[in-house]
Chain A
Amino acid sequence: MRQTRIISSPRRLEQGQVHLAAAHLHYRQLNALVREAVARGAKHLRLSGVNGQRYLADGLRGDIHLEIEGVPGNDLAAFMDGPCVQVRGNAQDGIGNTMNAGRVVVHGDAGDVVGYGMRGGAIYIRGHAGYRVGIHMKEYGLSRPAIVVGGRTGAFLGEYMAGGLILVLGLGAGERPLVGDFCGTGLHGGLIVIRGQLDRDHLSPHVQAAEAGPGDRDLIGPYLEEFCAHFQLPVGPLAADRYWVLRPASARPYAGKYAL
């Protein structure tokens, strides 16, 4: 990506709205343009022709809407603190790494390591997600992150999870299991909620599975509603379905492993 690049200047549409043509821009140039537009007061940014540019919306703060057309590169919305990012396509690996607040809405599939060490806000994925979704997710006080996956996920879902909520809906999963092997390995806080059938072979010994009770259903209700609102789906059938909840079997799954 060293070739000569054409830098397009932000084109103002209306007050506070900016359109950036991202095709062929290096991620550093594109991110610089985004930051410059935000510094000038842009509230709604549309990025068209995005393909593989990394670190979009990283560390971005405030009440900002970022619309991405194409496939954003790795580490989208890392350390993000407040904005709402809409991805009109698939996303790659590492969305929402250590994200603190805001929304990431992916209208396609997402790659591996979604929400690594996520601390707050929510990620909604319409399609499937990859391996290690929600690894090291955590919560504190009122800051409680959530990841909702419309399809299925790969192995190591919620690995070392310490807080927050992961909800897997299995839409379009067909006959395939909704989660992969080693689900909840090292989990010691937070909840994983899985719709429909549960294959216990995939579960780590570090989780306890139980059918969702009324309290659990109250908890997931608002997330189901927001998921359906983002992707224009009827919430009724999802809300009426059966769910399994995975809770930590212990607050210290590795007690005694490294020290007596």
Chain B
Amino acid sequence: MFDVTARNIAGCGLCALISETAQAVSGEAIMRAIALLHDRANGMGGGFAAYGIYPHRPDDYALHLMYYRPDSRDQAERLLDEVLQVHLAEPIPTRPTPGVPPGPALWRYFVQPPPGAEPADDYVLSVVMRINSECPGAYVFSSGKNMGAFKALGYAEEVGRFYRLEEYHGHTWIAHGRFPTNTPGWWAGAHPFTLLDWAVVHNGEISSYGTNRRYLEMFGYRCTMQTDTEVVTYLLDLLIRRHHLPLRVAVQALASPFWHQIERLPAPERELATAIRQVYGSALLNGPFAIVFAHAGGLVGLNDRIKLRPLVAARKDDFLYLASEEAAIHVMCPQPDLVWAPEAGEPVIGCLQAARLEEVT
């Protein structure tokens, strides 16, 4: 008989925080916040990204890898030794945690591209794509500097304990509890999705995935994670790092206003919005989403253009908080100065004071 109490009513949960003055905080707060959103997930994936956590090796790319097969590590390490300078290789520290099933082997490598490999970011990106598509069972799930992604099957708070995140200190944290709808629940398919220093968590569905993916393939990105969110990460890398679009322009390409809204804008903004839609039509994200993405310089929250998924923001002193539900923010910050619901398609931006991204306002 159908068991009513076993019904699983969920819808992904996400939360994030940034200290704009780069105060490092431990993973405790973000783990408590995502634990409050437990009922939005179903145990089929949880994950975190944290920035500023490797201050002892801030200039090395920190590669986090999953190995699904016994020979995956040999293959990947052979490739790494061949194309990169590996300064340190070690297992990622974990602890046995109820709720996190046995999974792939987890290793991390602090690396530099060889001298003359320029631009370095593009070189590392090509290595990431090669490992993901050429080494069977090996997946790079984090590849930025002084940051790291941590993800697994299980509920997010269990995943955080598994990775011992209370031992890390970062100025920016994002977290996600997954309720997979259209794609498999597996370790590499948990959020965040990362590339270089980009990390993305997402609640919703990207129904334009096919269009976005074909567009990205023209620029050398290969989608291997079997999940729609992956394209958001690569689009950000393409638009902001490689095409040098200001953050607000890139975000407008992902969640463009409707044509009838563009017609209402004053002339200069109308021309910009029209050009974005014409040039970057294939980067438009269709479907319902609330996403939070982080990078070396800050944190951004964004909703789809008709706000089909929840997102709440709050500020307290130099901290910006984002979450699927306001209650999760109160766990991190009991008395925020300001709480608000971002408008559809309107980004909420937190910037590290030391590394302000160029902005069009």
Contact = CB atoms under 8 A, between A and B. Distances in A.
B306 A155 contact: yes
Given A2-B38, A154-B344, A201-B264, A92 B306 contact: no
B305 to A, nearest CB: 9
Contacts of A51: 36, 327, 330-331
Contacts of B121: none
Given A154-B307, A155-B307, A3 B35 contact: yes
Q: Which 4 A-B pairs have the closest CB atoms?
A: A52-B327, A1-B38, A51-B327, A131-B307
Interface in A24-65: 27, 51-52, 54
Contacts of A154: 307, 341, 343-344
A73 B325 contact: yes
Max chain A CB contacts within 10 Å: which of B36, B155, B328, B331? B36
Given A1-B35, A154-B344, A73 B310 contact: no
Nearest to A53: B327
B35 A156 contact: no
Interface string A156-167: 100000000000
B11 to A, nearest CB: 10
Interface residues of A, number: 27
A23 to B, nearest CB: 11
Interface of A: 1-3, 27, 51-52, 54, 70-71, 73-74, 90, 92-93, 109, 111-112, 128, 130-131, 154-156, 180-182, 201
10 contacts: A2-B155, A51-B36, A52-B325, A52-B327, A71-B326, A109-B341, A111-B312, A155-B306, A156-B306, A201-B264
Contacts of B181: none
Interface in B286-343: 306-307, 310, 312, 325-328, 330-331, 339, 341, 343
Interface in B36-64: 36-39
Given A51-B330, A181-B261, A131 B344 contact: yes
B326 A90 contact: yes
Main secondary structure, interface of A, reads loop
Interface residues of B, number: 23
A180 B312 CA distance: 18
Nearest to B98: A2
Nearest to A182: B306
A179 B36 CA distance: 32
A189 to B, nearest CB: 23
A41 to B, nearest CB: 27
Contacts of B344: 131, 154-155, 180
Nearest to B307: A131
A156 B326 CA distance: 22
Most buried by A among B36, B39, B258: B39
B341 A111 contact: yes
A200 to B, nearest CB: 11
A90 B307 contact: no
Contact of B327 (A71, A128, A201): A71
A54 B39 contact: yes
Contacts of B327: 51-52, 71, 73, 92
Given A3-B35, A109-B341, A52 B306 contact: no
Contacts of A109: 339, 341
Contacts of B261: 181
A130 B341 contact: yes
A27 B39 contact: yes
A154 B341 CA distance: 10
B307 A71 contact: no
Nearest to A129: B341
Contacts of A93: 310, 325
A93 B323 CA distance: 13
B180 to A, nearest CB: 20
Interface centre among B155, B310, B328, B339 (most CB of A within 10 A): B310
Contacts of B258: 181
Contacts of B331: 51
